[in-house]
C-alpha cells in the first residue's frame, strides 16, 4: 500500500467520504460537460466523479481503522439517498465548476452531521463552513458560468457511501457502508 509521509516521516493519507456515481451516470455527466465547450480549467476525470460528504484532509495512516470503526457504530439511513444535481455553479474561492442540488435532502445532511460527530473523538474537526453537496466538473476553473444548451438534471441514487484515499490524482476506495438493506 503506497503512503505519503509528512516532513516528520510519519505516513499519512488524504481521505474523504463521498457518494459514488455509477458508471452510466459518469458517462452522461462527462458527455453533458463536453457540450459546455469549456475553455478554462482541468476537467475532473469521469471515473473520479463523486458527491463529497466529508473531507478529512491529511490523516495519519494509522487512524484509518479507527475511522472505519467509528463509522461502523453509526446508525445509517435505511434507504438509498436520492438527490438531483440540477444547478451549475462556479466556486471562485476553490476555482471549481460544480454541480449542486437545488435542494439537499434532509437525510444527506443528517448523514454528514453524523459523520462529523463520529470523527470528533478522533481529533478530526468539523469544518467551519456549511455543508454544500456538490460534484466537481472542473478544477482550476476561472471565468464566468458557462452557458449550457441543456439544463443539468442528474438524478443520483446512492445505495452506499465510500471512504476514499486521494493519491496522485486518483481516488482509491478503502471502505464502504450500505445505505439500504
Q: Which of 91, 86, 81, 67 is nearest to 16 (CA)?
A: 67
Q: Which of 69, 62, 67 is nearest to 11 (CA)?
A: 62
- Give 179's DSSP letter: S
From the candidates 63, 134, 136, 141, which is the catalytic residue? Answer: 134
From the candidates 16, 50, 108, 115, which is the catalytic residue? Answer: 50
Q: Catalytic residue at 50? A: yes
CA distances to 52, 55, 91, 148, 156 from 142, rounded to whole Å, are 21, 23, 9, 17, 27
**Residue 71 neighbours by CB under 8 Å, 6+ apart:** 17, 115, 118, 163, 175, 177
Scored b (16 or more CB within 10 A) or e, 165-178 reads bbeeeebeeeeebe
- Would you say 46 and 21 are in contact if contact means Cβ atoms under 8 Å apart? no
3-state DSSP assignment of residue 92: coil
What residues act catalytically?
A: 50, 134
Amino acid at each position: 500500500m503506497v503512503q505519503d509521509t509528512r516532513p516528520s516521516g510519519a505516513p499519512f493519507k488524504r481521505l474523504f467520504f463521498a457518494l459514488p456515481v455509477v458508471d452510466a451516470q459518469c458517462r452522461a455527466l462527462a458527455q453533458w460537460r463536453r457540450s459546455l465547450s469549456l475553455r478554462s480549467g482541468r476537467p475532473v476525470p469521469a471515473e473520479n466523479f463523486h458527491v463529497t460528504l466529508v473531507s478529512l484532509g491529511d490523516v495519519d495512516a494509522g487512524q484509518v481503522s479507527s475511522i472505519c470503526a467509528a463509522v461502523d457504530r453509526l446508525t445509517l439511513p435505511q434507504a438509498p439517498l436520492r438527490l438531483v444535481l440540477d444547478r451549475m455553479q462556479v466556486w471562485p474561492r476553490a476555482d471549481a465548476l460544480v454541480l449542486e442540488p437545488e435542494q439537499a435532502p434532509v437525510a444527506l445532511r443528517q448523514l454528514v452531521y453524523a459523520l462529523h460527530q463520529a470523527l470528533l473523538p478522533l481529533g478530526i474537526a468539523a469544518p467551519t463552513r456549511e455543508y454544500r453537496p456538490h460534484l466537481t466538473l472542473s478544477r482550476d476553473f476561472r471565468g464566468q458560468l458557462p452557458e449550457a444548451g441543456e439544463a443539468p438534471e442528474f438524478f443520483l441514487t446512492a445505495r452506499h457511501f465510500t471512504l476514499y484515499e486521494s493519491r496522485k490524482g486518483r481516488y482509491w476506495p478503502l471502505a464502504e457502508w450500505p445505505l439500504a438493506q
